[in-house]
């Protein structure tokens, strides 16, 4: 069963909902109980299967000085 993200048109609350295949109507907002909700497109994170380096805390090469490609702090030698 997939988990979808929804946003309430009434109070602008964003929430996730586990949706069954039999469920036909959109879920109600958990904050205000409104039925005026819309499905939000969410970004799916990927896993890089590239080479790793033990020099960085996240195990990946730094994309640029100061920021690691995985969102952590870069730990470049030198």
The strand pairing partners of 16, in sequence order, are 5
What domain count does the chain have?
A: 1
Residue 75: its pLDDT value, please? Answer: 54
User: Residue 23 is part of which domain span?
Assistant: 3-40
In a domain, 22, yes or no: yes
> How far is the C-alpha of 7 from the C-alpha of 29, rounded, in Å?
8
Q: Give the dihedral sign, CA 60/64/70/73.
A: positive
> How far is the C-alpha of 16 from the C-alpha of 67, rounded, in Å?
30
Can you give the length of the chain in residues?
78
Q: Rg (Cα) of the chain, in Å, rounded?
A: 20
Q: Global pTM?
A: 0.51
Average pLDDT per block of 10 residues along the chain, 78 residues long: 91 92 87 95 67 52 51 51
In a domain, 71, yes or no: no
In a domain, 27, yes or no: yes
């Amino acid at each position: 069963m997939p988990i979808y993200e929804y946003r309430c048109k009434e109070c602008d609350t964003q929430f996730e909902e586990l949706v069954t295949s039999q469920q036909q109507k959109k879920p109600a907002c958990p904050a205000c109980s409104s039925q005026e909700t819309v499905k939000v497109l969410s970004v799916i994170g990927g896993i890089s299967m590239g080479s790793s380096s033990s020099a960085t805390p996240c195990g990946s090469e730094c994309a640029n000085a100061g920021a690691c490609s995985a969102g952590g702090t870069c730990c470049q030698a030198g």
